[in-house]
Structure 1
Amino acid sequence: MYNQLSNEEKMLVNLEVANNKKSVGVSYLLWFFLSSLGIHRMYLGRKFSGVMLLILTIIGWVTLAIFIGWIFLVVVAIWVLVDAFLLPSIVKAANDDLTEEYARKIIAYKA
């Protein structure tokens, strides 16, 4: 859809994306400090998986006293570790989605 735009429209889309794009650095900061709460995923627009990570963490801590919670917390730890390697590609996908969203808006405005 982005390729259908004129050069001026592409410049406008690029300007909007530059102003609103997601940052790898911010993503890693959120991952480092709040990873088990899923905040880094919510920041990148993956709200469902961020909320699932939060729910798993809460269930893990609540059920830790009955010795089941460690299973949930191990799952969260593995998920968070994998996210450390996936963050750059997730940020790129979020920024690509943002580009397509702005391109769709311009095309809809022209119509």
Structure 2
Amino acid sequence: MTSRPSDDTLTRLRYDADKRSALVAYLIWFFLGYGGVHRMYLGYWVSGLIMLALLAVSALFTLVLIGYAGIGLILVWWLVDALLIPGMTRRANHRLIDRLAR
């Protein structure tokens, strides 16, 4: 007869299954970061969608040369995010812990 795992064990298993990885975030940042996908992965949906919309609008306006300013803004934002990813990952995992602790 098998025993049922404790609530603490189940919580740890849920955390391990749902936690965010800085390595994965950096890979997403490198390949899809211009569209804000790394921010969405870490739970920052609003800023990720804003970044994606800014990329789409900027790409559209590059036809009249005005979109390059938006592309430049996204490039700066993308580079700053390289420094912010460890903290964003930590906060995402703390939010997960708080949610599981309830």
TM-score by length of 1: 0.81
In the alignment, the residues of structure 2 paired with residue 69 and residue 24 of structure 1 have an alpha-carbon distance, to the nearest angstrom, of 31
SS at match of 1:22: coil
Tell me if structure 2 keeps the 8 A contact 1:14–1:99. no
List 4+ stretches of structure 1 deviating above 3 A.
Answer: 8-12
The residue that corresponds to 2:77 in the other structure is 79
Alignment of 1:1-111 (within 5 A): 9-104=7-102
Could you tell me whether the CA contact under 8 Å between 1:57 and 1:73 is conserved in 2? yes
The count of residues paired between Structure 1 and Structure 2 equals 97
Indicate the RMSD between aligned Cα atoms, in angstroms: 1.3
How far did residue 13 of structure 1 move? 2.8
Deviation at 1:11? 4.6
Q: What SS class does the counterpart of residue 63 from structure 1 fall into?
A: helix
1:85 counterpart letter in structure 2: L
* Aligned counterparts of 1:45 and 1:84: Cα–Cα separation in 2: 16
Structure showing greater relative contact order (alpha-carbon pairs closer than 8 Å, 6 or more residues apart): 1
Q: Which runs of 5+ in 1 are unaligned?
A: 1-7, 105-111
- In structure 2, runs of 5+ residues without a counterpart are 1-5
Find the aligned partners of 2:45 and 2:56 in 1 and give their Cα distance.
16
